[in-house]
Amino acid sequence: MTARLKGAVIGCGFFAQNHLHGWADLDDVEIVAVCDVDESKAKLAAEKFGIARVYTSAEAMLATEALDFVDIPTTMETHEALTALAFAHGVPVILQKPFAPDLDGCKRMVAAAAAANVPLMIHEDFRFQNLFRTVREILDSGELGRLTFGRLSWRTGIDVYSNQPYLVHVKRFMIMDVGIHLLDLARFLFGEANGVFCRTQQIKEGIAGEDAATILLSHEQGATSILDFSYATKREPDPFPQTLGEIEGTEGTLIIGADRVLTVHGKDGTRRIAVPHDDRSWTSEPWTQIQDSVVHTQRHFVDSLRRGVEPDTSGRDSLATYALLEAAYLSAARGTLIHPDRLG
Ligand code: NAD
Ligand code: 89V
């Protein structure tokens, strides 16, 4: 593998701007080409980030460029065709969430990556936030004892539809867009889950899918977790895009408070930890914690490629997250508890 990995970005839309900034922050990576079916977006990205070549066809780009990886921050309906192209050229992929419209699509892509022997990582960035790296360290220290309960809460009233207008039309909206982050976090913090109960709500009028949901998970290691998330919550100050909540164990409790303040109630009393941002030149509130996590996700992908190891949120690993998502939608439709391992 070359000293500086040569990568390309397919899709130069809204969130890709964070990806492009992130890659520019990694000294051992060079983005040599960008591609978008909308040429103006690809050209704009190339100019802004000093990228040599512009394409409007991913097929032409992969046939021309010698790439160490491609980054695909497009929306999910394009993922299967674009990953197939990369796999056909033996090029590793980092793919923005959501992985695919349903679990079967995720499984097909994992099988295609395995058949081509090509690494596939899902860009699932919440677990790479500074906040949740710190939470993980506290859990690993054993300070809270055996985990018994967790709540992860993500509620906002921001106008998500102006930056991401396609969300008005998607039938699987809130669990796919935000719930998937919390399902991944729940696995990261509490371990695998074997039971899912979910209730969805559509609060805003005129949208195609649910804009609020509450999920209850039973975890194999004994904890119960509750994930609640909404794009229809009116409150001031609006905590967007913060995940709040609490984690209880047999020896203590951790409160995930606003503005990245953690409060740990342990055997030795109470302490507070203020988790800082990275202080990057291009990040801005309220997005900073997510923007920082984009770079950490990319760093993990590159390090995994260099070491020849499977990344934490590989396509294969992410099947367990998307099985929970599928179970949540089924639970909401049926009104019953679903065991994700029995989905078939
Ligand atoms: P977008 O529509 O703004 O950008 C997608 C871009 O991909 C567009 O410019 C489009 O022209 C291009 N594109 C589509 N098909 C293509 C193809 N075949 N070849 C080349 N280019 C193609 O979308 P967005 O709002 O940036 O969202 C992209 C994804 O990022 C979504 O899946 C969304 O859920 C995700 N997202 C993640 C986070 C996060 O925190 N991780 C935040 C926001 C959005
Ligand atoms: O992930 C997403 O698509 C965004 C969020 C704000 C949750 O990061 O909507």
Last residue of one domain, picked from the residues 118, 142, 174? 118
Quick check: is 316 in a domain?
no
What pLDDT is recorded for position 1?
A: 60
Residues 114 and 254 in one domain: no
Residues 104 and 19 in one domain: yes
Q: CA-CA distances (angstroms) from residue 65 to 8, 62, 69, 95, 123? A: 9, 6, 11, 19, 23
Say if the ipTM goes beyond 0.95.
yes
Domain count, the chain: 2
pLDDT at 2 over 80: no
- Per-residue pLDDT of 202-258, as tens digits, reads 999 999 999 999 999 999 999 999 999 999 999 999 999 999 999 999 999 999 999
- What the block records as the tokens of 319 is 């099947």
DSSP-assigned letters across all residues of 52-101: SEEES-HHHHHHH---SEEEE-S-GGGHHHHHHHHHHTT--EEEESS--S
- Per-residue pLDDT of 27-75, as tens digits, reads 999 999 999 999 999 999 999 999 999 999 999 999 999 999 999 999 9
Residues 244 and 168 in one domain: yes
Tell me the CB-side half-sphere exposure of residue 21, using CA atoms within 13 A.
19
Q: CA-CA distances (angstroms) from residue 218 to 20, 23, 193, 195, 267? A: 38, 37, 5, 5, 26
Residues 161 and 100 in one domain: no
- Pocket-testing residue among 12, 18, 36, ligand 1, by greatest number of atoms within 8 A of Cβ: 36
> What's the mean per-residue pLDDT of the chain?
97
CA of 12 from ligand 1 middle (Å) equals 7
Q: Please, what sign has the CA dihedral across residues 156, 102, 109, 319?
A: positive
CA of 168 from ligand 1 middle (Å) equals 15
Residue 344's pLDDT band, with cuts at 50, 70 and 90, is: low
By residue range, what is the domain housing residue 16?
5-118
Q: CA-CA distances (angstroms) from residue 331 to 200, 217, 316, 336? A: 9, 11, 23, 5
Residues 206 and 80 in one domain: no
Last residue of one domain, picked from the residues 90, 118, 146? 118
Residues with CB under 6 A from ligand 1: 10-16, 35-38, 41, 58, 73-76, 78, 82, 96-98, 125, 164, 177, 290
Q: Examine residue 101 and say whether the peptide bond preceding it is cis (omega within 30 degrees of 0).
A: no
Quick check: is 301 in a domain?
no
- Per-residue pLDDT of 119-129, as tens digits, reads 999 999 999 99
Residues 172 and 83 in one domain: no
Residue nearest to atom 41 of ligand 1 (CA): 125
Q: How far apart are CA 321 and CA 44, in angstroms?
A: 35
Residues 211 and 258 in one domain: yes
What pLDDT is recorded for position 163?
A: 87
Residues 186 and 333 in one domain: yes
Quick check: is 302 in a domain?
no
- Per-residue pLDDT of 5-16, as tens digits, reads 999 999 999 999
Q: What percent of the chain has pLDDT over 70?
A: 99
Residues 332 and 200 in one domain: yes
CATH number at residue 68: 3.40.50.720
pLDDT at 155 over 90: yes
Residues 256 and 276 in one domain: yes
Q: How far apart are CA 273 and CA 180, in angstroms?
A: 27
Q: In what order do the strands lie in the sheet with 93-96?
A: 53-55, 29-35, 5-10, 69-72, 93-96, 120-123
Q: Specify the DSSP element, H or E, that contains 239.
A: none
Q: Of 121, 112, 125, 105, which is closest to residue 85 (Cα–Cα)?
A: 112
Query: Which ligand sits nearest to residue 298's alpha carbon?
Result: 1
Residue 288's pLDDT band, with cuts at 50, 70 and 90, is: very high
Q: How far apart are CA 59 and CA 57, in angstroms?
A: 5
CATH number at residue 193: 3.30.360.10
Residues 248 and 271 in one domain: yes
Residues with CB under 6 A from ligand 2: 160, 177-178, 181, 241, 290
Residues 210 and 335 in one domain: yes
Residues counted in the chain: 344
- What the block records as the tokens of 224 is 């119960």
- Per-residue pLDDT of 130-148, as tens digits, reads 999 999 999 999 999 999 9
